[in-house]
Amino acid sequence: MKSKEICCIGAGYVGGPTMAVIAYNCPKYNITVVDSNKSRINQWNGPVENLPIYEPGLKEIISDVRDKNLVFSDKIEESIKKADIIFIAVNTPTKTDGKGRGMAADLTNVKKCAELIAKSSSSDKIIVEKSTAPVGTGEKIKTVLKSINSKNKFQVVSNPEFLAEGTAINDLMNPDRVLIGGEESREGFEAVNTIANIYKQWLPNNKIILTNLWSSELSKLASNAFLAQRISSINSLSALCEKTGAKINEVSKSVGMDSRIGSKFLQSSVGFGGSCFKKDILNLVYLCQYFNLPEVAEYWHNVLKINEYQKERFFDKIHKSLKDIKQPTVSLLGWAFKKNTNDSRESASIDIAKKLLENNYSVNVYDPMVNDKTIIDDLNNLSVLNLEKLNIFSTVEEAVQNSHAICILTEWDEFQSLDYTFLSKLMQEAILFLDGRNIIQKDRVAKIFENTQSIDT
Ligand code: NAD
Ligand code: UGA
């Protein structure tokens, strides 16, 4: 059977769930997910309770398809060799050195994949750019492939991923759209159709958008930039609400009820996190600068500046309330960058904890999913001082014991049903309740804490 052997390089938050859902919906395709991180592969092959990532519904799907038409392997070359289609789903972080440092996407991992594919292949293949990468990356992959292997034909297709963590399985099963971009040639159209045929196994034609390579690459960056822009827009207005007495939830509801605007992504917060919004916007800003569009670059850069401003405002609120306490302790509820994930990359919690520790606060942390090692690594990676003042607990009760403030930083459902009267009694002094996600009705806690605030008050 032709074009039914798939290899995916990268067994992370995208590669793992995406291939699991393809395997589930396409029993006739054989899929091998490979990764250079062997312990990650071992974890994917281990008990489903201990998969390397947490996503609702993932372990059920993995139980269903693993070792049937989905295999996790560390034999990268072997898997590349036998595949007709190769997805590249490796990480594309922000560059830390060289030209474009701190802004441009680091494509080292993508380039390494292209080199290995070229060297290990002895048949024609379709290469799918699943990783988020700047406009022009598909062309670069093609150049690398051709320069190393002139015997085989490679078609490069862009198929960016739009899943959000915490809802990945649902997003993959019922996406708003699937985007596939290819070269504008007969071979290019054939390759695009081959990839479209995978998704057609469970999605209607009208959800599958076919474009050229560059539109597909830019649409991914644009989508993330628009989403982040909405959050920064509402967060910027939360600052104005504080000055005027308007309430951000009421403003958000009123604005969102205009069907031209829509209600999603208008929840004010301590700031957006996650591994992609910041890096993809930086990437977009860099592209604009590179093409000499400074006004456009500055426009998008402001989305990130407001996000930093929001986190600073949040810290200032804590500092203002607790400045007279001699040895203040703050309890942070939530470390993940959003609910229903164990991912804490770029989480606002990291920045808030950093500022608190560096200002001599004791910090107690509780998160239902993020493990202690990740929390410590997150702070160590930023060379945070005073780590001895950090304590991580496995229950909320322990985390609030003897503290002066409770700050909600992740919108975990369990934080909504907590008995805050009871918790306040465990505290040294219930001076501050600060809801960074706007998930608790202020009236519910107003009488319990000396000072009850959400992000707009
Ligand atoms: P991740 O860090 O969770 O996973 C990437 C994996 O690739 C890692 O396990 C790493 O070991 C592996 N890898 C890197 N280079 C390799 C190589 N040369 N050979 C073999 N394995 C290699 O990253 P992720 O969150 O899955 O993101 C992957 C890409 O998808 C990024 O470009 C990201 O922007 C994009 N994306 C992510 C999300 C998300 O929600 N996380 C959503 C949409 C798009
Ligand atoms: C985001 C996009 O939603 C996905 O479509 C995209 O594929 C992905 O980035 C990516 O490219 O990596 P993700 O970062 O997983 O997904 O999660 P989101 O739901 O977008 O949340 C991002 C951050 O924004 C979180 O910290 C969340 O709490 C915050 N947020 C979200 C708000 O502060 N307010 C909102 O109204 C919505």
**If you compute the radius of gyration of the chain from its CA atoms, what whole number of angstroms results?**
24
In ligand 2, which atom is closest to the CA atom of 437? 33
What does the pLDDT read at residue 417?
95
Ligand 2, atom 2, residue with closest C-alpha: 164
Q: What is the pLDDT of residues 315-366, one digit of tens each?
A: 999 999 999 999 999 999 999 999 999 999 999 999 999 999 999 999 999 9
Average pLDDT over residues 170-180: 98
What does the block give as tokens for 233?
């827009």
* Among 123, 196, 186, 189, CA closest to 159: 196
Q: Which residue has the tokens 């609702």?
A: 56
Active-site residue, selected from the candidate residues 26, 241, 276, 407? 276
Task: Report DSSP state, residue 392.
Answer: E
| Portion of the chain with pLDDT greater than 70, in percent | 99
What does the pLDDT read at residue 456?
80
In ligand 2, which atom is closest to the CA atom of 161? 7
Average pLDDT over residues 398-425: 97
Cα separation of 105 and 38, whole Å? 25
Average pLDDT over residues 284-289: 97
What does the pLDDT read at residue 5?
97
In this predicted structure, the answer to whether residue 195 has a pLDDT above a threshold of 90 is yes
Cα of 273 to ligand 2 centre, how many Å? 7
What does the pLDDT read at residue 394?
98
Q: How far is CA 221 from CA 65, 172, 224, 230, in A?
A: 32, 19, 5, 15
* Among 90, 107, 109, 94, CA closest to 18: 90
Domain 322-454, CATH among 3.40.50.720, 3.40.50.300, 3.40.50.150, 3.60.15.10: 3.40.50.720
Pocket of ligand 1 (CB under 6 A): 9-15, 35-37, 40, 89-92, 109, 112-113, 131-132, 161, 163, 165, 275-276
Cα separation of 275 and 413, whole Å? 22
Cα of 274 to ligand 2 centre, how many Å? 7
Residue 227 Cβ < 6 Å to ligand 2: yes
Residue 285 Cβ < 6 Å to ligand 2: no
Around 70, how many Cα atoms within 13 Å sit in the side-chain half-sphere?
24
In ligand 2, which atom is closest to the CA atom of 14? 12
Cα of 228 to ligand 2 centre, how many Å? 8
In this predicted structure, the answer to whether residue 256 has a pLDDT above a threshold of 80 is yes
In this predicted structure, the answer to whether residue 2 has a pLDDT above a threshold of 70 is no
Ligand 1, atom 1, residue with closest C-alpha: 12
- Contact between residue 235 and residue 307 where contact means Cβ atoms under 8 Å apart: yes
Ligand 1, atom 6, residue with closest C-alpha: 10
DSSP codes joined into one string, 420-442: HHHHHHHSS---EEEETT--S-H
Ligand 2, atom 17, residue with closest C-alpha: 164
The pairing of beta strand 70-73 with beta strand 30-34? parallel
Residue among 130, 131, 165 to mutate when testing ligand 2 (max atoms within 8 A of CB): 165
Average pLDDT over residues 256-277: 97
Output the pTM of the full model. Answer: 0.96
Class of residue 309 by CB neighbours under 10 A (exposed 0-12, middle 13-18, buried 19+):
middle
Ligand 2, atom 37, residue with closest C-alpha: 265
Residue 252 Cβ < 6 Å to ligand 2: no
Cα of 224 to ligand 2 centre, how many Å? 8
What does the pLDDT read at residue 74?
97
Average pLDDT over residues 161-180: 98
- Long-range contacts of residues 76-80, Cβ cutoff 8 Å, at least 24 apart: 76/9, 76/34, 76/35, 76/36, 76/116, 76/120, 77/116, 77/119, 77/120, 79/7, 79/32, 79/34, 80/7, 80/9, 80/34, 80/116, 80/117, 80/120, 80/121
Residue 266 Cβ < 6 Å to ligand 2: yes
Q: Which residue has the tokens 């607990």?
A: 393
Domain with CATH 3.40.50.720 in the chain: 4-213, 322-454
N-terminal to C-terminal alpha carbon distance within the chain: 62
Residue 106 Cβ < 6 Å to ligand 2: no
In ligand 2, which atom is closest to the CA atom of 347? 26
With residue 24 as reference, give the H or E element that holds it: helix 15-25
Cα separation of 8 and 15, whole Å? 7
With a CB cutoff of 8 Å and minimum separation 6, the contacts of 345 are 273, 274, 275, 337
Average pLDDT over residues 386-414: 97
- 4-213 topology per CATH: Rossmann fold (3.40.50)
Average pLDDT over residues 38-58: 97
Q: What is the pLDDT of residues 62-73, one digit of tens each?
A: 999 999 999 999
In this predicted structure, the answer to whether residue 1 has a pLDDT above a threshold of 80 is no
Cα separation of 70 and 64, whole Å? 9
- Contact between residue 126 and residue 191 where contact means Cβ atoms under 8 Å apart: yes
Q: What is the pLDDT of residues 414-443, one digit of tens each?
A: 999 999 999 999 999 999 999 999 999 889
Residue 256 Cβ < 6 Å to ligand 2: no
Of the listed ligands, the closest to the CA of 436 is 2
Mean pLDDT of the chain: 96
- Helical residues (DSSP H) of 161-247, grouped into ranges: 168-173, 186-199, 213-244
In this predicted structure, the answer to whether residue 455 has a pLDDT above a threshold of 90 is no
Range from 145-159, 179-193, 443-457 carrying the lowest mean pLDDT: 443-457
Of the listed ligands, the closest to the CA of 14 is 1
Average pLDDT over residues 274-302: 97
What does the pLDDT read at residue 378?
98
Cα of 14 to ligand 1 centre, how many Å? 6
In this predicted structure, the answer to whether residue 405 has a pLDDT above a threshold of 80 is yes
Cα of 324 to ligand 2 centre, how many Å? 36
In this predicted structure, the answer to whether residue 221 has a pLDDT above a threshold of 60 is yes
Ligand 2, atom 11, residue with closest C-alpha: 276
Whether residue 276 lies in the annotated active site: yes
- Helical residues (DSSP H) of 323-450, grouped into ranges: 348-358, 372-380, 396-400, 420-426, 442-446
Residue 439 Cβ < 6 Å to ligand 2: no
